[in-house]
Every structure is written in C-alpha cells, then in structure tokens.
Structure 1
C-alpha cells in the first residue's frame, strides 16, 4: 500500500511537471506570435523612406495616371455630348414638337374647375403680409405716397 502510494505520487508529480511545461510552452508561443504580429504591423507603418528619386518616379507615374483618367473622362463626355440634341435641333428634326403645346392647351381647354367654397372664409383670416412680402414697398414709401 505504501509502495503504491509512493508510485502514484511520483507519477502525479511527473504529470504535473509535464503539464506545466506544456502550458509554459504554449504561453511562450503565444507571446512569440504576438511579438511577430507587432513587428509585422510596425513594418506596415514604417514603409519606404522618401527620397528625391522615389518621389520623382512616383510623381511621374501619378501624373501619367491622372492624364489618362482625364482623357477617358473627355472621351466619355464627347460621346455623351454627341448623342444629345439641343432644343433647336429637336424642334428642327421633330415637327410634332411645334404643335404639341398647342394640342395640349386645346385638350385642356377651359375645363378648369375651381371650388369656390375654399375661398369663402378668406375674410376671417388676418393676413399681415405687408411686412413679410418682399415685393411690397417699404413702409416709408407707402407713407410718402399717401401724403
């Protein structure tokens, strides 16, 4: 019984040592990965140093791309402009447009209906639009005209 207890205790201690080693190795690997990730992030932010030669080559590429984009935009605008006709050109090509407004007015005719009941209570309203109306003359001009 004493022998079995001694053996089990020794095995248990050895297993605890192995588990502790595994845990410490995992922690070290985790720390190493975090450190590598930080270094990689620092490299991303570090970039390449700017020198006169680097800048001039980048500037030349950038200007070329910008010029190419402007040329594309100009071509697109030209193509869009070719398809659109001016108002004068529309009237010259489509003679139905000459009479379309007249036809519309004839169709509408004098069939405009006004509901007069909407305007019956207008006397009860207090309208003070002289001050608010930008088209009305100033108060000084009104007093001069009444003199």
Structure 2
C-alpha cells in the first residue's frame, strides 16, 4: 500500500501543536513550514540572558518522513560563532538515524539537549575564570602583606634613593666641603698624634727614653684651639685691639 505522506505530515503537525503549544508557529501548510523555539532551562526570555535560545525552522519535503525535512536556525541568542553550524550538523546526524518515521519531536529534543550541554560547558568555563580571578586577587593581597623580597642590590638601590630623597647626600656633601676650625682639624687628623714621636726618631732620640707627662693631656678637651677669627682668611692680628 502506498504511503499517504500528506496525511502523515498533517497528523504530526497536530501532535506537535499539542506538545509545544505557544512555542510552535505554523507558517504554511503547503508545504508544511513551521518553527519551534527551544532554549536552555535557565534562559531568561525577558532579558535574553543566562542561557541559549533559537528557533528551529522545519519544512516538510514531499516524501517526508522517508526523506529528510529541511532545517534552518533563526534568531540565535548568545550563540558563539560556530554554534549554528555545529547544531545543524548534530540535527543532521539525528535525521539520518530516524529516516522513515515522524522525527520532528526527536530532532527538537536532540537539539534541546545539545543547547543544554553547550550552556553547561559555558558555565564551567566562566566558573573556572572566576576562580582564577579570585586566586589572582588573593595572591595580590598576600604579596601586599609579604612586601618586596630584599636582596643586597635592591637594598643598596633603595638606600641610595632614600638618602637622595631625604637630603642626606646633600648634607654629607656640605659637611665634606665645610671649612674646619684648627681644633676640628687637630681632632680629625690622627697623624698629628704621632708627629712628635716621628720628630724624635728623626733626631736620633730613642723613643723609649722619652718621658711623657700624661697630666698635660688629661684636660685636652677643655682647651680652646683658637677663636673663630683664626679661621678667617682676612683676619689681621691686633686689628681689633684698642689703641
């Protein structure tokens, strides 16, 4: 007995309308052309967020279901660049597995499952990214408390910059060029401590025979080694004496 394709197609459309209700839209009946909207469970239709969604558009061929229906994808939401192509390939595989029987329900269910898998993969990737970002933030906070690891080179560099910024280098340079008084020169020049001994050696006098009166040096710090006027290049002795 020859198969009545038109009757089989009409019966399937009637069954699909009862299953998908508001999600199916019949565009024409000759040939039968209709669309069914599918989306992931968490998808928010009001904001087009938190999921994937699209319309599967089917057109019966003359000898459907013994021949494959035409399938298109319209209004994809949150799809990546290659999602449409891959979903159509997935649907094509399901068609080949169901030739000879009414298959639209199987095609829609298979496509729905494919979307769910892709959305789960997306959520895993986003969760992994969020965890990585959290680890990076925690690592950054930990480094703040640890501070910077110090080596000899970094310490010397820091010290030089610190001394420059605080003016210590300039202060040292000024102190180095500051004119010293006679007393300061005497106190800083350690060679003067040995000058008398070297003089005696040069004169042929044995050092061990020299007697030193230690009391002469006990109050050395109380002595004044000249006034400030002595360090003045323009100072003339007796110029300030009264007549």
TM range (shorter): 0.3 to 0.5
Q: TM-score, normalised by structure 2?
A: 0.25
Q: TM-score, normalised by structure 1?
A: 0.39
Q: If you compute each CA radius of gyration, which structure gives the higher value, 1 or 2?
A: 2
| Structure with greater helix percent | 1
| Structure with greater strand percent | 2
